[in-house]
Amino acid sequence: MYATLLIPGLKVQVEGTYNEQRQVIATKVKFKKDDLEQAQAAQAANQQTKMQAEANKEHLEQHNEELQAQNEALQKQQAQLTEQQAKIAANKAAIDAAVARFGQLDDYYIFDELTVYFGNGEVKVDPKYELQLLALAEKAKGIEGYVIEVRGYASSAGSVSTNQKLSEQRAQNVTNILIQKGNVPLTRMLAPGALGESQQVGNEKGAEGQSKNRRVVVRVLQNKAIAGT
């Protein structure tokens, strides 16, 4: 019979002699058929158990890899959440600072404000204001969902219709600078408002008061819904 039948767990009877190294050299090996069948069955069971153990090991390793991937994804989400919370906190701090400095409207936070003054009867923007307008436009681009409001005014000197037209032209000229030189998209510009003689801030009885009323007020706004507050 084949020597390969001598498998672990098989009961055998062995006859032989010792060699010089005191090792048994078998000359005859006997075993029963029933013992061979039992040993083969046991070996098959052990093999199945081993295969199941290997399968369990592979499944466990796969499960551990999935857990590790989920953990890494969770850590990444946590990092993103932390970053988002930091951005929200920074935005809130910026809003609080802007509100403290400029105030707020019903639906908007005012992030920045610039007043451009004009001479009597003039509508052309003084070049000294251009850099300020461009700086305001650049700053606005860092605010999520910003819009820019432009309101033109006039003093009460002259006719109401003339002053209304002056306030309109002043507001339009400031708007043109923001769009053409400041590269502010049209979608970010509210329609220029011409308020004429309304909302006077200076005493119209004196030249100084009148000069304060010949103005265009530019505001950078953020909708409160966009701000999340």
Task: Give the pLDDT confidence score for residue 137 in this predicted structure.
Answer: 96
Task: Give the pLDDT confidence score for residue 90 in this predicted structure.
Answer: 73
pLDDT band at 118 (very low <50, low <70, confident <90, very high): very high
**What does the mean pLDDT of the chain come to?**
87
User: Residue 94: how many CA atoms within 13 Å on its side-chain side?
Assistant: 19
In the chain, what are the domain boundaries? 3-54, 103-227
Task: Give the pLDDT confidence score for residue 200 in this predicted structure.
Answer: 79
| CATH class label, 103-227 | alpha beta
Place of tokens 């306030």: 167
pLDDT at 180 over 90: yes
d(CA 8, CA 110): 87
Task: Give the pLDDT confidence score for residue 204 in this predicted structure.
Answer: 67
User: Considering only 103-107, 135-139, 158-162, which range has the smallest mean pLDDT?
Assistant: 103-107
* 3-state DSSP assignment of residue 19: coil
pLDDT at 98 over 90: no
pLDDT band at 105 (very low <50, low <70, confident <90, very high): low
For residue 149, give both structure tokens.
Answer: 């409001």
Task: Give the pLDDT confidence score for residue 94 in this predicted structure.
Answer: 66
Beta carbons within 10 angstroms of residue 90's beta carbon: 10
For residue 182, give both structure tokens.
Answer: 């400041």
Range ranked top by mean pLDDT from 106-115, 116-125, 193-202: 116-125
